[in-house]
Structure 1
Amino acid sequence: MKKKQGIFLVIFCLLLAIMSGTVLSLYDNVREHSKVSKEDITLHYCDEFGYYALALQKAMNPDYKVLSYGKEVPEYMQNICDEYINDVLKNSLTVIQSDSDFMFQAVDTKTNKELSHHKENMEKTDKLFQFTIQFHADSSIQMKGDLDDRIFNQSIFESIANNVLDYYRDRYMDLYSVEDVENGFDYHGVHYGDESIKVNIPKNLSVSFALPQEVTKSSHYYGNVYYESYAYAFAATAMAVCCGILFMYFLIYPVRVVENAPLFKRIYHLKAGLRILLMAFLISIWITSTIMLSVFTINKEFYEFFHQMNIGGGNMLIPIINFVVWFITLAVISLEIFQIKYIFAHGIMRYLKEDTLIASLIRKIKSYSHRLSEFDLSNSLDKTILKFVLINTIIIFIMCTIWVFGYFLAIVYALLCFVWISKKAKKIQQDYLKIIDAAKQLGNGNFDVNIQEDLGMFNGLKEDFSHIRDGFEKAVKEETKSQNMKTELISNVSHDLKTPLTCIKNYIVLLQDDQLDEATRHEYLENLNQYSNRLTTLIEDLFDVSKVNSGNMKLSLMDINIIALIEQAQAECMDQLEEKGLNIITCFEESEIICHLDGDKTYRIFENLFTNISKYAMPNSRVYIEVHVKDDVEIIFKNISMEQMNFTAEEIVDRFVRGDKSRHETGSGLGLAIVKSFTEVQQGSFHIEIDGDLFKAILHFKKVQDQA
């Protein structure tokens, strides 16, 4: 077995070395392939070369005017454009003069004046590209080198002129005069590509530009010379390929040989939880470091760092560092790959139950939970606690056998454990008994019981007990309120029934007098008819309310037009409203709003509201009726009260009450109660809003499409 393990380790190390060396050997190839071609470079910077030429001409000849203008271009526009192009050229000159790699040489062929940067390197170093632009006295352009006149010509300077016009258009539109706009000029008569604004092409100037074959990271052109993403893609791909090879290697090798190999055996002595965390941390660190190191080596940044720090032997040390880092990273990944095979080889469930740290903790927690579940908090805990302390003491004695002073420390520890645990357990028992006592008091109807003390592990129960107490007290109050309201309703109904009955009885007695003249008898009969009608209305209203409350109300639902029903009820009650001098103002969002309701019950709702208004609204005032269609249909009746409203919105619909607290008005006093009952039985809602003397009755019904 040891021989097989030795062979495995030798092959494993050779495999890691071969893969690491192979990756390193590809660095130069990757760097070459990540380099952009000279054609792409010259094409990408073609416009910038035009700016550079103008900037050099301006630097050598300060009197050189870059732009010329037609007569139609106003002076202030010329000043703006000149200031802009001069700033651009100044920045362009700063870029090429401060760049660590870019080389240029400009010569005025008429005065032999020269301006250059890294001129000494133009003949010594290998060039990524090099070309010369010759501007003749007649403004013609001649190209030599890697940039030809098909790419760089006079159209470059036309494009620059258009860029100036773009700048002016985007930033100075507010400077146009009214006269310019009225005359229909486009940018003061200046158009793209015409002769109104043009660049004065340099004359008698020879400019040479070059870039070395190796561009440093600090250069302005580095990002367009090298595709840095190539290096990242190569490093990631190389890592993936190496991982695949290692996976195939561990797949074919027997697991029993690998798990006993020195490196792997030490790692797997750790619990799985710690091992997974450790491996995940190491893999993430090493993979990230390896990829970044590879990229920095490929793009020569690592070599520049050695040069800046004056560290010698960089050309030899950097490959060694890369080899070691790749070797360690692949070794760490190998440990994780084998862990995956180990899990599947021994079974996932067995691995989770036996090897993981979480499973071990779960087993211990389960054991302790089972013991704690045997405690009875209502009985004495001393014996149970003493039992656990004795067991703990025996364990401590066993562990301390190798140290003579361990016996004494074990006894002290056991006593301290007993005192501490006993104190804690008794506190738990006391808290438990407090909860039980409070529950008993609550059961006996004592709602004032409140637990202020800290109950430790029972604090959650203390909060639940508080909620139960509040809920129980609220339920009792609601029931008491309901009973009081029923008693009050019976009392009020008895009073209202007794009044018309007494009047009817009295008039019957009076009518039995034979001496009554015909006019008086007729008057008594009318009064008798009035009180009998009032009694009939009261009884019918009581029956309607009781039917709704008992659930015996039968509905004949159909699609009805709410607007038409309101108008019909208004017409029926118009005599009463006009008698009070009330002006009805309606605001309907639509002429037809369909709801699925009982026509008779809904008409009764509107009739009661109009009747209520005719009785209690201030005479000669306005009444507003609004219907809004939102998520549902909202109907609002608004009026000004004749009397002061010394009642709440809930009281006026829940109690047997009239708006002026009088018992001598006609009607049953149940008008709004019937409105509320009939609305809610049809799945609607009704509520009252009172604001000073403003009385608002608001109903909500579902639209027919919502019910479908």
Structure 2
Amino acid sequence: MELATIISIIIATLSVLIAWLIIRRVKRQIAEMTDALADVKNGNGNRHVLSATNELVASLAYEINDIIVSYENRLCTFSQTEETNKQLMTSISHDVRTPLTTLIGYLDAAHKGIVIGKDRDDYIETARRKAHDLKEYIDVLFDWFKLNSNEFSMEINTVEAAELTRDILIDWIPIFEDKQIDYSIDIPEQPFRVKLDIDGYMRILNNLIQNVVAHSHADKIELTLSKQNGNMKIILTDNGIGIKKEDLKHIFERLYKCDKGRSEKGSGLGLSIVHQLVEKMNGTITVESVQGKVTTFTLLFPLVG
């Protein structure tokens, strides 16, 4: 037999052997992929397919791993959402039922003549305040549900934000005066052109100011508007009880409440709504605080032109 023939036979044999080994390896990897997918289907999101970059099924293995990671992330998000919804339902049950029961109690006492004269007037006034608090709480819940629904949309247009900010703050001045809160508002006469959803921007400022009025126990509030590095910068400062250092990093989380001194009432959703709305308008919000001295919220929105 000629040498060339022998070499050809050896090469053919090696080729068959290599092909068989490759097929065997591919079959084993496909079996591993099948097992991995079965595990994922049964809820094990930690299962991954191992493959070297030079193997035939490498791209398929990496794609499956990406799908598994995506699946696990979605499952984690779903679990977090489910837990959040449970917490929210518990919060609603307590935060709505308690003031509603008290409200009914005051109104029943006034209606049945259990209290008369000035006491009756005081009961009715207390019931009125609690009714407004309850409406405010329900409004926040409605905003949160709407913001986190698939139907939520924003109408973002270029607006003149300085005048819009003045219009929002005008409605707060009587409240500041009624609660004896000194206020300082510094908004330049120059225009600030910013892409905003008007309703969302109003909700941002109203939620932040309401947070100060309701929870900070401040007697002074300051708001300044300026331009900085191509952004509209809003600084809201109060001299209230402040926020603990360990609470600052959680302050924009859903349902998060600080100590009772600052969170004796409220849904724990107001600042979360603010944070989401700011991000949806391509802005940023940060907070700094020194307990017993000062709390400062800083917002940045990109200027147009």
Same fold (TM over 0.5): yes
Residue pair 1:558, 1:597 contacting (<8 A) in 2 also: yes
Residue pair 2:51, 2:57 contacting (<8 A) in 1 also: no
Query: In the alignment, which residue of structure 1 is the partner of 2:204?
Result: 605
Residue pair 1:496, 1:663 contacting (<8 A) in 2 also: no
SS of the residue corresponding to residue 457 of structure 1 reads coil
**In 1: Cα distance, 2:215 partner to 2:29 partner:** 61
Q: Deviations over 1:646-678 (max 9, x none)?
A: 4355x544424555456644x655433454465
**In 2: Cα distance, 1:690 partner to 1:485 partner:** 26
- The verdict on how the C-alpha distance between 1:627 and 1:495 changes in structure 2, with shifts beyond 3 A counting, is farther
Query: In the alignment, which residue of structure 1 is the partner of 2:124?
Result: 525
Q: Deviations over 1:392-426 (max 9, x none)?
A: xxxxx6xx3xxxx6666666666555545534443
Unaligned residue ranges in structure 2 (runs of 5+): none
Query: In the alignment, which residue of structure 1 is the partner of 2:227?
Result: 628
Residue pair 1:686, 1:697 contacting (<8 A) in 2 also: no
Q: Deviations over 1:113-140 (max 9, x none)?
A: xxxxxxxxxxxxxxxxxxxxxxxxxxxx
Q: Deviations over 1:223-279 (max 9, x none)?
A: xxxxxxxxxxxxxxxxxxxxxxxxxxxxxxxxxxxxxxxxxxxxxxxxxxxxxxxxx
Q: After the TM superposition, which residues 61-72 of structure 1 pair with which residues of structure 2 at under 5 Å, given as runs?
A: none
Structure 1 residue 500, shift from structure 2 partner: 1.6
Residue pair 2:285, 2:299 contacting (<8 A) in 1 also: yes
Residue pair 2:283, 2:302 contacting (<8 A) in 1 also: no
If you compute each CA radius of gyration, which structure gives the higher value, 1 or 2? Answer: 1
Query: In the alignment, which residue of structure 2 is the partner of 1:312?
Result: none
Q: After the TM superposition, which residues 144-223 of structure 1 pair with which residues of structure 2 at under 5 Å, given as runs?
A: none
Query: In the alignment, which residue of structure 1 is the partner of 2:106?
Result: 507
Q: Which has the higher contact order (CA 8 A, sep 6+)?
A: 2
**In 2: Cα distance, 1:631 partner to 1:528 partner:** 48
Question: Does residue 462 in structure 1 map to residue 39 in structure 2?
Answer: no
**In 2: Cα distance, 1:677 partner to 1:407 partner:** 75
Residue pair 1:605, 1:675 contacting (<8 A) in 2 also: yes
Structure 1 residue 458, shift from structure 2 partner: 2.8
Question: Does residue 440 in structure 1 map to residue 5 in structure 2?
Answer: no
Alignment match of 2:247 (pick from 633, 639, 647): 647
**In 1: Cα distance, 2:58 partner to 2:302 partner:** 46
**In 1: Cα distance, 2:188 partner to 2:18 partner:** 77
**In 1: Cα distance, 2:203 partner to 2:19 partner:** 74
Query: In the alignment, which residue of structure 2 is the partner of 1:449?
Result: 47
The one-letter amino acid of 2:118's match is A
Query: In the alignment, which residue of structure 1 is the partner of 2:24?
Result: 426
Alignment match of 1:697 (pick from 291, 297, 300): 297
Query: In the alignment, which residue of structure 1 is the partner of 2:74?
Result: 475
Structure 1 residue 553, shift from structure 2 partner: 6.9
**In 1: Cα distance, 2:30 partner to 2:190 partner:** 68
**In 1: Cα distance, 2:81 partner to 2:59 partner:** 33
Query: In the alignment, which residue of structure 2 is the partner of 1:498?
Result: 97
**RMSD between superposed Cα atoms in Å:** 4.0
Structure 1 residue 518, shift from structure 2 partner: 0.9
Query: In the alignment, which residue of structure 2 is the partner of 1:271?
Result: none
Q: TM-score, normalised by structure 2?
A: 0.74
Q: After the TM superposition, which residues 359-378 of structure 1 pair with which residues of structure 2 at under 5 Å, given as runs?
A: none
Structure 1 residue 473, shift from structure 2 partner: 0.9
Structure 1 residue 536, shift from structure 2 partner: 2.2
**In 2: Cα distance, 1:428 partner to 1:668 partner:** 56
Residue pair 2:168, 2:202 contacting (<8 A) in 1 also: yes
**In 1: Cα distance, 2:109 partner to 2:8 partner:** 110
The one-letter amino acid of 1:430's match is R
**In 2: Cα distance, 1:607 partner to 1:458 partner:** 56
Q: Deviations over 1:313-350 (max 9, x none)?
A: xxxxxxxxxxxxxxxxxxxxxxxxxxxxxxxxxxxxxx
* Alignment length (residue pairs): 298
Q: What is the identity percentage for the equivalent residue pairs of Structure 1 and Structure 2?
A: 20
**In 2: Cα distance, 1:484 partner to 1:629 partner:** 40
